[in-house]
Amino acid sequence: MNKKGDYTIGKESLKMIVYLMLITVVSFIIISIFGVSIVKDIRTSELEQHVAVTRMLSSSNCLAYSGEERVFSGIIDLNKFSEERVQNCFSYKEREGQGLLLSLYDFNDNLLGEVETNKILVAQVPTCGLDKSDYDCYFTRKYILYDDGGEMKKGFLDFTVVTKLE
Amino acid sequence: MNKNGIIVLADINFIILTVLLLVAYIILLVQFDIANFGDKNQIIELDDGLKSSENEYLVLNYLNTEVNEFTFADMIYSWKNGGSVVWSEIESETEILFSKVYGNCYEFEIDGNNINAVIFNSDSASCIDFSVDLNEVVEICIDISEYDNKFENYKEEECFV
């Protein structure tokens, strides 16, 4: 190859650098465009709400009745139905991010007691149904048995769990 | 192509770069499509499994509920093992129990027999296996999703009309 040819290759190499820069810029633009359109919102609020309800019903540290040797999951110990007990049943992080309202009724629909944790969050319940609400609520009524001084009685427990959406 | 072959060299570089760029672009597009990232504001919700376990406790409580000194578990055991309890007895007692709590907004099924349901909606049901023999279990399912939906919208009274 002659001198002119060398010069030409050198010129092409310079162009390569320019092309590489161009590719880099184009790649960044493509990634940025995709990045803007990707909004991954993984909502764990429902999962957290079900965890709260399940824990209330199944853990002896929460409301589940426990005998000498075993825990009777699903059966509520009336002596455990207190705000302090329910609060201590959650970790600090859960307590901060979740509000819980429990209403315990006997089988004749008489309110036996109500327990509320994180009252600021529970107060947001009316906003839950709104389209742009920052809060997600879960409502459910569970048929339960509760231990009242050694006697097993029928009743139901209403759960309202409020979670702040991230 | 000219005599010096300069344009050929430039063309080859251009073609290679264009092909590389196209390949990179296609790879990005394919990844974008496979990962299903195309939808704006895509929301991935995690929930179900635990809702089912919540209601399993409900069925357990049902089985432990006493009716005339027998539990529902005893009654189902007797019914399936040729005892004195007949299906209609279990059906009526179950209806009395659950209609008090959930009105008509529940569906219940024991071993394929529906209570308060024409066709049992298994999609949102929670089920447990209840052993009535060493070799036999009956499936007991409940679905209270209709009640929960109304309860959420403060319309649970509609279940008791």
DSSP class per residue in B77-128: HHHHTT-S--HHHHHHHHHHHHHHHHTT--EEEETTEEES-SS--GGG-EEE
The mean pLDDT value for A58-82 works out to 89
One domain, residues A83 and A125: yes
What is the structure's pLDDT at B103? 93
- Is residue A67 very low, low, confident or very high in pLDDT (cuts 50, 70, 90)? confident
One domain, residues A95 and A111: yes
Query: Which residues share a beta bridge with A41?
Result: B43
One domain, residues A17 and A82: no
Task: Tell me the chain B residues in contact with residue A139 when contact means C-beta distances shorter than 8 Å.
Answer: 148, 151-152
A128, closest residue in chain B (CA to CA) = B152
The mean pLDDT value for B130-137 works out to 88
- Is residue B29 very low, low, confident or very high in pLDDT (cuts 50, 70, 90)? low
What is the structure's pLDDT at A5? 52
pLDDT greater than 60 at residue A4: no
One domain, residues A31 and A52: no
One domain, residues A16 and A74: no
B47, closest residue in chain A (CA to CA) = A47
What is the structure's pLDDT at B43? 60
| Pairing verdict, β B137-143 and B107-110 | antiparallel
Residue A116 belongs to what domain range? 45-164
Domain count within chain A:
2
Contact A141 B42 (CB under 8 A): no
- Residue B43, class by beta-carbon neighbours within 10 Å (0-12 exposed, 13-18 middle, 19+ buried)? exposed
User: Which range, of A26-30, A58-62, B6-10, B60-64, averages the lowest pLDDT?
Assistant: B6-10
What is the structure's pLDDT at B86? 93
One domain, residues A81 and A34: no
Q: For residue A42, give the nearest of B40, B46, B62 by CB distance.
A: B46
- Residue B58, class by beta-carbon neighbours within 10 Å (0-12 exposed, 13-18 middle, 19+ buried)? buried
What residue has token string 């007895």? B89
Task: Tell me the chain B residues in contact with residue A31 when contact means C-beta distances shorter than 8 Å.
Answer: 28
pLDDT greater than 70 at residue B140: yes
Say if CB B72 and CB B94 are below 8 A apart. Answer: yes
Which runs of consecutive H residues, i.e. helices, occur in A38-164?
45-58, 83-88, 92-97, 119-122
Q: For residue A58, give the nearest of B24, B49, B57 by CB distance.
A: B57
User: Which range, of A58-62, B23-27, B61-65, averages the lowest pLDDT?
Assistant: B23-27
Question: In angstroms, rounded to a whole number, what is the distance separating the alpha carbons of residues A70 and A39?
Answer: 46
pLDDT greater than 90 at residue B125: no
ipTM of the complex: 0.71
Q: What is the largest CA-CA distance in chain B?
A: 108
The whole-angstrom distance between A84's CA and the closest CA on chain B is 23
One domain, residues A8 and A66: no
- Residue A62, class by beta-carbon neighbours within 10 Å (0-12 exposed, 13-18 middle, 19+ buried)? buried
- Residue A69, class by beta-carbon neighbours within 10 Å (0-12 exposed, 13-18 middle, 19+ buried)? exposed
One domain, residues A64 and A130: yes
Helix/strand/coil for A117: strand
- Tell me: the pLDDT tens digits for A22-63? 787 777 777 767 665 665 666 677 788 888 898 899 999 999
B7, closest residue in chain A (CA to CA) = A8
Q: For residue A139, give the nearest of B20, B58, B148 by CB distance.
A: B148
One domain, residues A6 and A58: no
Most confident segment among A66-75, B4-13, B86-95: B86-95
One domain, residues A3 and A63: no
A157, closest residue in chain B (CA to CA) = B101
One domain, residues A16 and A95: no
Say if CB B22 and CB B30 are below 8 A apart. Answer: no
One domain, residues A122 and A83: yes
- Tell me: the pLDDT tens digits for B90-110? 999 999 999 999 999 999 999
